[in-house]
Structure 1
Amino acid sequence: MNFAARRARLCAQMQPGGVAIVPTAPTAARNSDTDYPYRHDSYFYYLTGFTEPDSVLALVAAGPAGPAQAVLFCRPKNLEREIWDGFRHGPDGARAAFGFDAAHPIEELDAEMVRLLTDAPAAYYALGHSAALDTQMRAWLSGVRALGRSGARAPAEAHDLLPLLDEMRLFKDDGEQALMLRAAAISAQAHERAMRATRAGMFEYQLEAELLHEFRSNGAQFPAYTPIVAAGANACVLHYNANNAQLRDGDLVLIDAGCEFDSYAADITRTYPVSGRFSAPQRQLYELVLAAQAAALAAVAPGRPYSDIHDAATGVLAQGMLDLGLLDKAHFGTAENAIAERAHQQFYMHGTGHWLGLDVHDTGAYRDGAAPGKPSRALAPGMVLTVEPGIYVRPGPGIPEQFWHTGIRIEDDVLVTPGGHRVLSDGAAKTVAGIEQLMRGAR
């Protein structure tokens, strides 16, 4: 991936001579002298490809004072610390390896930022997103103002950098698409591994272990998020992640899990029977969700509003709820009426997808403008999103008992292409016949 080209694109959107500051993520202590596994900031990585902690990127847009500059601040080379903590590029090594115009030890950040911000017309950073960065910015601007007697001026404007980067990150280039395809393929293998391993009497965490084994053995660095392994009624809890219940014959298992491969996320959900065979009521609900996903996928094409995806899925689900007796057909009459009264939200209360990329819920606006009344934005090639309808039936008055405690979600990762779309995660079985055949072969 051409990180230098991304930096150039960002600089071209800034005021001439403006300065952008992008820090990476801090390390986080787990307990005592142990840290959580380190993961860099996605915005920082998008512009640098650099994965070491204690790093900051400064970008200076071309202007009257000279050409554009990309300046990295990072940990100094330290052979003694490398014995304990591993390799460090150091400023000189990072500059050569990653194509920066200049690089300095992180200890020089304060002095250099005062210099870079002096007489700059504008500063760009994540306004209000980090108390630590806001504090640093105030200190740097105070340092510039302290030079005022010599004619130095602080930036007159401050701009939120993230909307510019969010729009850039929304469109995945060929390199990003290849990484996301790999992440999806590994994750699909993991879901099928879990299906084959499933037996009544196992615990949810044992299936989670199967997922994690497949992720790591195929080179994925992390799970993209905490896996959801939800058996039986647990599948009706949308963000369930205790993963400690025992699997029972007759239950469905909902697994929502994806790996992170070279910083890019996959996000797949499959739901299947512990026994390897769907009961008749389970099959009815499952086929309904599968049909809703097929309708939603058909709405993924360039020029189509993003909202069409959710509308297509919701229409199918609401009609199915009426047909199966989950909603009172005599009262509502049509799916349109049920949706207008939001009756379907008793059983389907979330959206049908989200952007996917460096973050599992990736950046980018869903509407053309910030106001809630603005129209849904049009899909375009290079966008990657999830399509994930579901149905969640808890016990209640008037709800057919055969559907109680049933949660089903089917989720795939989808690339918008010039001619329509490509499902990146289609390696994981999801038809009733495909799931039952896969599980039957493992028994």
Structure 2
Amino acid sequence: MNINTDVYQKRRKIVLSHLNNGVAVLFAAPEQRRSNDTYFAYRQDSYFYYLTGFNEPESALILDGKTGQSILFCRNKDQLRETWDGFRFGPQAAQEIFAFSKALPIDEFDEQLLSYLKGADTVSLLLGLYPDQDQRVLQLWQKAKAQMWAGINAPKQFTDLSLVLNQMRLIKDEYELSLLKQAGAISAKAHIVAMQKTQPNQYEYQVEAELLHTFVSHGARYPAYESIVASGKNACTLHYVNNQSLMKDSDLLLIDAGAEFQGYAGDITRTFPVNGVFSGAQKEVYEAVLNAQLATIAAIKPNISWQAVSDIALKALVQGLIDLKILSGTVEGAIESGAYKRFYMHGIGHWIGLDVHDVGGRFDEQGQPLLLQKGMCTTVEPGLYISAADDVPKAFHNIGVRIEDNVVVTELACEVYTADVPKTVAQIEALMKNQ
């Protein structure tokens, strides 16, 4: 992995500029036990990685606003442990390669933090993210306060560092965009392969295997989240991840899957017929969802509110349901009554970045809908989920359709950077016919 030291240094300097005379503390993610003495593959905490690029557990970062220094604490070099578990940078190499002001052994963290707390006005933490570590810092703060008799002030309050970092992470820099687009491109390749490989009488997990194989083959070692491979009525379960059903000739298959590339997530959904040809009812529902997605994407631009974007999607989906005679009355009436919520029960999208559901709200501090800005990255994912019911025409029973792409807001509009995956009926049927 290439380490772009300048990017992480720049981010740390921005945070330091917000601290004034305060101190910020961040912790690496702990390792997670899978069973007995085996562990899940390590995944660094996104905030910690955003400021350091450092991908080892048992690490911490102190940002000292008093001096402008960034101090990493990490594991020492250990030949025996490295023989068993793999390479460690150690403090000296970590300081040089990642351009920290200092790097020290993690065993010295408590003692060093106590010294940095003295004379600081505030302590900034990612409150609630790692409660045990919050308690650890609190105890050191109390110890620092107890030493005030020496004439050295201790911090008077705790602040939430996420208020600064969430705003920073909401706008992607060029380095982040390059990684997001690579994650999107790998995810797109996997979806295309899945369309080409899908056949009736396969199991859903066999298609999932094609996704995972394509991710890893292109340098994305892990999925960004558990892949959803949902055929038939399973597609009406939003977070279906069992992926164990036999796919029938007449089923639609909904795949919601994305690769994680160097920490950044892809998140694409496509829905297509297992046998390669949409039935009449499947096509009608599909095109209602596609029309909503295209209308939503066309509306995304700087200075439009996310609420306005969501409203465009909702009105298009409700109009589709009325056209299908699944709902009756007017669009406004169906929205006001909430009748549509049986068939569309989620939002139109979410931020995407280091986390697949990335940080940053949809509303500002005054509770007003956030205005989109250049560099924001979001998913656009309308869907209709029509479970079998007596008041629903039988042709539409158990049809679940979602279409999802990843977009970045540009200077005048937006760029769909996952557009390589076919999504019109004609494109999908042509691809599957030529598999």
Q: TM-score, normalised by structure 2?
A: 0.97
Helix, strand or coil: the match of 1:269? strand
Q: Deviations over 1:87-114 (max 9, x none)?
A: 1110010000001001110000110010
Match in the other structure for 1:42 = 46
Q: 1:204, 1:245 within 8 Å by CA — same for their partners in 2?
A: yes
- The answer to whether residue 435 in structure 2 is matched with residue 431 in structure 1 is no
Larger CA deviation: 30-39 vs 136-145: 136-145
Larger CA deviation: 122-131 vs 374-383: 122-131
Equivalent residue in structure 2 for 1:357, among 350, 353, 359:
353
Match in the other structure for 2:395 = 402
- Residue ranges of structure 2 left out of the alignment (5+ in a row): none
Match in the other structure for 2:10 = 5
* Matched AA of 2:398: H
Q: 1: distance between equivalents of 2:190 and 2:134?
A: 42
Q: 1: distance between equivalents of 2:18 and 2:300?
A: 29
Equivalent residue in structure 2 for 1:24, among 25, 28, 32:
28
* Matched AA of 1:3: Y
Matches of residues 61-210 of structure 1 in structure 2 within 5 Å?
61=65, 63=66, 67-210=67-210
RMSD: 1.0
Equivalent residue in structure 2 for 1:367, among 350, 363, 367:
363
Q: 1: distance between equivalents of 2:267 and 2:362?
A: 19
* Matched AA of 2:31: T
* Shift, 1:397, TM fit: 2.5
Q: 2: distance between equivalents of 1:53 and 1:408?
A: 40
- Residue ranges of structure 1 left out of the alignment (5+ in a row): none
Q: 2: distance between equivalents of 1:354 and 1:128?
A: 22
Q: 1: distance between equivalents of 2:150 and 2:308?
A: 59
* Shift, 1:129, TM fit: 2.9
Match in the other structure for 1:265 = 265
- The answer to whether residue 296 in structure 2 is matched with residue 303 in structure 1 is no
* Matched AA of 1:420: A
- The size of the alignment, in residue pairs, is 430
Larger CA deviation: 126-135 vs 2-11: 126-135
* Shift, 1:80, TM fit: 1.8
* Shift, 1:149, TM fit: 3.0
Match in the other structure for 1:284 = 284
Q: Deviations over 1:307-351 (max 9, x none)?
A: 1221111111111111111112xxx2x111111111111110100
Helix, strand or coil: the match of 1:158? strand
Matches of residues 232-271 of structure 1 in structure 2 within 5 Å?
232-271=232-271
* Shift, 1:83, TM fit: 1.0
Q: 1:296, 1:308 within 8 Å by CA — same for their partners in 2?
A: no
Helix, strand or coil: the match of 2:73? strand
* Matched AA of 1:29: R
* Shift, 1:270, TM fit: 0.2
* Shift, 1:145, TM fit: 2.6
Q: Deviations over 1:2-43 (max 9, x none)?
A: 1000000111112x2210001010001111211111000000
* Shift, 1:169, TM fit: 0.3
Helix, strand or coil: the match of 1:13? helix
Identity over the aligned pairs, expressed in percent?
A: 46
Q: Deviations over 1:276-300 (max 9, x none)?
A: 0000000000010000001110111
* Matched AA of 1:4: Q
Larger CA deviation: 158-167 vs 78-87: 78-87
Q: 2: distance between equivalents of 1:435 and 1:234?
A: 21
* Matched AA of 2:252: L
| Structure 1 segments (4+ residues) deviating >6 Å | none
Larger CA deviation: 145-154 vs 291-300: 145-154
Match in the other structure for 2:414 = 421
Larger CA deviation: 121-130 vs 19-28: 121-130
Q: 2: distance between equivalents of 1:181 and 1:48?
A: 21
Q: 1: distance between equivalents of 2:418 and 2:307?
A: 22
Q: TM-score, normalised by structure 1?
A: 0.96
- The answer to whether residue 424 in structure 2 is matched with residue 440 in structure 1 is no
* Matched AA of 1:90: G
Q: 2: distance between equivalents of 1:33 and 1:315?
A: 52
* Matched AA of 1:383: M
* Matched AA of 2:346: H
* Matched AA of 2:381: E
Larger CA deviation: 72-81 vs 205-214: 72-81
Match in the other structure for 2:213 = 213
Helix, strand or coil: the match of 2:385? strand
Equivalent residue in structure 2 for 1:380, among 373, 382, 400:
373
* Shift, 1:147, TM fit: 2.3
* Matched AA of 1:409: R
* Matched AA of 1:11: L
* Shift, 1:150, TM fit: 1.9
Q: 2: distance between equivalents of 1:240 and 1:264?
A: 23
Larger CA deviation: 389-398 vs 261-270: 389-398
Q: 2: distance between equivalents of 1:132 and 1:386?
A: 33
Q: Deviations over 1:115-143 (max 9, x none)?
A: 11112110000123322112101221132
